[in-house]
């Protein structure tokens, strides 16, 4: 499958462009090559351990020239849901992400919102969430990622904790981030392109690639970050392309563009 006819490129962040504060080798230069083309670029991320402001600051410190409008986050999607439904959520979020909910009332909570919050995933906090859900409060999962890559290896994502709350209460979480189709369509809503004109690059075969392909996009799986041997066989249909890293993925896209010019 080729990437001809592409107008915009969606790019995952953690595990694809960087791991914590370190660039995935070659990614800064590859992004500049991509931006030098006539393709539109947007970063889409399920990262919930820090606010958009802190995330953009981190990316710029690494060497990626990024402004807030370049980034569409699952935190933003969750905030929109909370405001639209007039919820007062119990927020299971990292303290560095809380500023994205500064305008949200959290007193007397009537909902539970779960992101990646390692310091909050303890018995006392989870039991408080459990009791709210038993009383009929809705459960909102910013995403249900199984795991992610840190410098010291793979680490549990929020997915196992969301699933535990679902199992114990019978509640069904509303997932707002990747791999939900609505998330991908929202990310391109102001980019002037259709799903079949978009390519998604990411290291998560289910959330990045499977989700984007379900939304009608082309998916490129990179073998960095959380990628494990054989991941490309875990979804049907399989990834449109598999690349060794982000730089290789850019080569695939720009090579197809040159063939069509």
The residues with which 117 forms a beta bridge, in sequence order, are none
Residue 181, CB-side half-sphere exposure with 13 Å CA sphere: 6
Please choose, from the candidates 136, 141, 131, the residue with its C-alpha nearest in 3D space to the C-alpha of residue 171.
136
| Mean pLDDT, residues 150-160 | 93
Mean pLDDT of the chain: 94
Vertex 31 angle, CA 25 and 37, to 5°: 145
pLDDT of residue 3: 60
Confidence band of 1 (pLDDT split at 50, 70, 90): very low
Alpha carbon of residue 127 to chain centroid: 27
pLDDT at 260 over 70: no
Q: How many CA atoms lie within 13 A of 48 on its CB side?
A: 32
pLDDT in tens, 75-124: 989 999 999 999 999 999 999 999 999 999 999 999 999 999 999 999 99
What is the average pLDDT across 53-57?
A: 94
**Res. 258: pLDDT tops 60:** no
pLDDT digits (tens, 9 = 90+) for 177-215: 999 999 999 999 999 999 999 999 999 999 999 999 999
Sorting pLDDT into bands at 50, 70 and 90, what band is 49?
confident
High-pLDDT (> 70) share of the chain, %: 96
Tokens at 180, concatenated: 């939900």
Query: Residue 56 carries which DSSP code?
Result: H
C-beta of residue 97 within 8 angstroms of C-beta of residue 75:
yes
Give the sign of the dihedral formed by CA 93, CA 119, CA 46, CA 128: negative
pLDDT value of position 235: 97
Within 10 A of 108 (CB to CB), how many other CB atoms are there?
6
- DSSP code, position 210: I
**H-only helix segments in 49-117:** 52-62, 74-84
Instruction: Give the integer Cα–Cα distance in Å for 62 and 97.
Output: 19
Beta carbons of 206 and 228 less than 8 angstroms apart? no
Contact of 142 with 179, CB cutoff 8 Å: no
pLDDT at 259 over 80: no
């Amino acid at each position: 499958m080729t990437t001809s006819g592409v107008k915009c490129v969606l790019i995952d962040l953690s595990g694809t462009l960087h791991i914590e504060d370190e660039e995935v080798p070659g990614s800064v230069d590859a992004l500049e090559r991509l931006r030098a083309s006539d393709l539109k670029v947007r970063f889409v991320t399920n990262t919930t351990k820090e606010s958009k402001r802190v995330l953009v600051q981190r990316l710029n410190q690494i060497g990626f020239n990024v402004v807030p409008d370049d980034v569409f986050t699952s935190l933003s999607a969750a905030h929109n849901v909370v405001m639209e439904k007039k919820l007062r959520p119990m927020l299971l979020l990292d303290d560095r992400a809380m500023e994205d909910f500064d305008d949200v009332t959290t007193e007397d909570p009537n909902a539970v919102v779960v992101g990646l919050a390692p310091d909050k995933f303890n018995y006392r906090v989870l039991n408080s969430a459990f009791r709210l859900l038993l009383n009929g409060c809705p459960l909102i999962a910013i995403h249900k990622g199984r795991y992610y890559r840190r410098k010291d290896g793979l680490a549990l994502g929020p997915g196992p904790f969301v699933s535990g709350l679902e199992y114990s209460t019978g509640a069904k979480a509303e997932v707002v981030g990747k791999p939900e189709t609505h998330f991908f369509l929202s990310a391109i809503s102001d980019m002037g392109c259709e799903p079949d004109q978009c390519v998604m690059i990411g290291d998560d075969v289910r959330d990045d690639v499977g989700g984007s392909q379900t939304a009608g996009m082309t998916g490129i799986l990179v073998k960095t970050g959380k990628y494990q041997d054989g991941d490309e066989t875990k979804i049907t249909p399989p990834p449109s392309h598999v690349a060794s890293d982000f730089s290789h993925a850019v080569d695939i896209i720009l090579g197809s563009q040159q063939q069509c010019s």
